[in-house]
């Protein structure tokens, strides 16, 4: 199943975050936007975050390898989990990015096939599946 991992930086599938900035910092960002350096505040903030991530690329790569994380997008369909169940196996999911568990996966199937779930990023699953896995999410 590791072949199903896709390395990407999704634009449409993103998480909204909220940050608090001081008035002077915000004013400086607005000035750069007004002067045409950035199209808007969001463009500035995304660029700043990507620049910081680029500065720490080696540290992130080493940490991903050390923690044996899959990097990118990992989708689990009902068929994937049924195959795991049929093989009598349990998954230990470790992903830096996005884990998406299909909407048709039942809480019972999720509990029967997912032993542990460690996601640095985001988990997309039904509320019932998230509740069923609550004690296995770290």
* Domain range list for the chain: 23-55, 60-136
Cα 129 from Cα 46, distance rounded (Å) = 31
Sequential pLDDT tens for the chain (138 residues) = 555 555 555 455 678 889 999 999 999 999 999 999 999 999 999 999 999 999 999 999 999 888 888 889 999 999 999 999 999 999 999 999 999 999 999 999 999 999 999 999 999 999 999 999 999 998
| Of the candidates 133, 7, 6, the residue with the CA atom closest to the CA atom of residue 81 | 133
The number of angstroms, rounded, from the C-alpha of 44 to the middle of its chain's C-alpha atoms is 22
Cα 31 from Cα 24, distance rounded (Å) = 10
């Amino acid at each position: 199943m590791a072949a199903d991992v896709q390395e990407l930086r999704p634009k449409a599938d993103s998480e909204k975050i909220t940050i608090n900035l001081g008035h002077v910092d915000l004013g400086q960002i607005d000035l750069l936007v007004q002067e045409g350096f950035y199209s808007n505040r969001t463009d500035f903030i995304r660029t700043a975050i990507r620049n910081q991530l680029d500065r720490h690329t080696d540290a992130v790569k080493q940490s991903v390898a050390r923690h044996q994380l899959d990097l990118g997008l990992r989708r689990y369909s009902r068929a994937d989990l049924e195959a795991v169940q049929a093989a009598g196996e349990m998954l230990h999911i470790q992903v830096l990015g996005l884990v998406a568990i299909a909407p048709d996966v039942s809480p019972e199937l999720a509990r029967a096939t997912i032993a542990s779930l460690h996601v640095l990023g985001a988990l997309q699953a039904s509320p019932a599946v998230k509740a069923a896995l609550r004690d296995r999410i770290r």
